[in-house]
Amino acid sequence: MCSYIPLARPDIRKTDIELVNNVLKSGMLIQGKYVGKLEKSVSKLTNSNNSIAVSNGTATMHLALISLGIGKGDEVIVPAFSYVATANVVELVGAKPVFVDITLDTFNIDISKIKNAITSKTKAIIPVHEFGLACEIDKIMEIAKKHNLYVIEDAACALGAKINNKPVGSFGDFASFSFHPRKSITSGEGGILNVKNDEKAKKIRQLRNHGIEIIEDQMQFVEAGFNYRMTDIQAALAVGQLSRFDDILAKKRMLAKVYEEHIKNSNIKTPKVPHNYSHTWQSYHILIADSLDQKEVIYTLKQNNILVNYGAQCIPEQQFYKLKYGFNSIKEFPKAYKAYTKGIVLPLYEKLNIENIKYISKKVNELC
Ligand SMILES: *Cc1c(COP(=O)(O)O)cnc(C)c1O
C-alpha cells in the first residue's frame, strides 16, 4: 500500500492479467471471445436479453439516444446532480436536457418533480443510480409509461444494485454501465448497454461497428456508424473481475458498514440505504454541514494523506450549461447545488481494509 490512500484503486490480480495475456497471445485483439463472454455475464447479472459492449459508458447512452432518433427539438429529462456525461449525451444528439432536482436522502432524482418537467417535446428520461444506489426506477417506469417516454437507466456506477431483488439495468428500455477505473469493476475504459428491443439492439450493434451488416456473406454498410467497439483486451480484464463480483460487493458493503459505525459527528450526514434497496457502494458520499467549507475539508484530508473529492457535479452549474441556458442553480436546483458544494466522497474499494476505514473515519471526525 502507498503512503497515502487514493480515492480509487482497481484491484487487478494475477488471474486477470493472465486473461489479458491470453488475448494478447491470441492476436485477436478486438471483439474476440471475451467481448462475447462479458456481454453474456452482464446479461445474466442484470436479467437482460441484449447486453452490448462498447468503448465507454458515455458511448452507450449516445448510441441509445441515436437509436431512438432523438435530436433537435426534443427534450430529455436528466437529474441536475450526476456526472456531466449524463447530460452531455443529450446535447451531443442536438436535444435539450431538462434538469430535475434530486433528494438529499439518496442523491437521486426527485420523482415528485418529474411530472412538472414533462412537456409535449419530452421524449425520454435518463435517471441515474447515483453512487451505486438505485433511484426509484420502478416508479419512474410508471410515469414514463403514462406519458409515453423512453427510459435509459444511467447505471454507470450501479452494476449489481437491486430494488426488491430486481437488478438495475432490467427496468428501462435501455441501461448503461461503465467500466471506468472509478467503478466497481474496470476494463480501463468500457461500457455495456442493455437493450430491451431486439430491433434496436441489432441497430446498435451496427452503429457500434461503422454501420456494418453482413448480408448474404457480404459486408454492407447500412448505417453511418461509429467505431464504439470494446477491445478484447478490455473485455478480458472485466471478465476476470466479474467472476469474483459477489466478493467485491461483499467487501465494499462490509467496509461501508465500518464507515457507518465509525463516523460520529453532528456535522456529517452519512448515506442511508432505503428499505429493500441493495447498495453497491461505488462511492461513500457524505454531506457536510453548511457551516463547513468543502474545499477546505478536502484540502485538509489530502494533507493527511487521504485523497477525497467532491462526489458529482451540479450539471446546470457547469460553465457550458450555465452560459447556454442561463441557470441559477442555487434557486432552481438547490439540492443538487448543495450536494455539489457540501458532498464529499471517501475512499471505498476492495483493496482497503477495516483499519484503513477506521483511520479515515477518525480523521474525518476530527477535521469536520
Ligand atoms: C462514470 C459515469 C459516466 C461515464 O462513464 P464513462 O465510462 O466514463 O464514459 C456516466 N454517468 C455516470 C453517473 C457516471 O458515474
Taking CA atoms, 192 is separated from 88, 110, 113, 283, 355, in Å, by 18, 26, 29, 20, 34
Contact by Cβ (8 Å): 283, 131: yes
pLDDT confidence of residue 96: 98
Mean pLDDT by 10 residues, the chain (368 residues): 83 95 94 94 98 98 98 98 98 98 98 98 98 98 98 98 98 98 94 98 97 93 96 97 96 98 97 96 97 97 96 98 98 98 96 96 96
Q: What is the position in ligand 1's atom list of the atom closest to the CA of 58?
A: 9
Contact by Cβ (8 Å): 140, 173: no
Rounded CA-CA distance 218/213 in Å is 8
Q: What is the position in ligand 1's atom list of the atom closest to the CA of 180?
A: 7
Give me ligand 1 centre to Cα 298, in Å.
22
Look at the block and give the residue holding cell 476505514: 357
Give me ligand 1 centre to Cα 220, in Å.
32
Q: Alpha helices of 175-293 — where are they, by DSSP H?
A: 198-208, 232-242, 245-262
Give me ligand 1 centre to Cα 70, in Å.
20
Q: What is the pTM of this model?
A: 0.97
Edge-to-edge strands of the sheet including 277-278?
166-167, 162-163, 277-278
| Nearest alpha-carbon partner for 162 in 274, 37, 81 | 274
Burial 136-161 (b: 16+ CB within 10 A, else e): bbeebbebbeeeebbbbbbbbbbbbb
pLDDT confidence of residue 2: 60
- Ligand 1-lining residues (CB < 6 angstroms): 56-58, 82-83, 85-86, 128, 154, 156-157, 178, 180, 191
Rounded CA-CA distance 154/200 in Å is 18
Q: Which of 178, 185, 189 to mutate to test the pocket of ligand 1 (most atoms within 8 A of CB)?
A: 178
Give me ligand 1 centre to Cα 106, in Å.
18
Q: Which three cell numbers stand for residue 108?
A: 437521486
Rounded CA-CA distance 149/121 in Å is 10
pLDDT confidence of residue 19: 96
pLDDT confidence of residue 31: 81
| Nearest alpha-carbon partner for 129 in 166, 176, 93, 95 | 176
Q: What is the position in ligand 1's atom list of the atom closest to the CA of 183?
A: 1
Give me ligand 1 centre to Cα 91, in Å.
16
Q: Is the dihedral of CA 78, 82, 84, 89 positive or negative?
A: negative
Q: For the chain, what is the largest distance between any 2 Cα atoms, rounded to a whole number of angstroms? A: 69
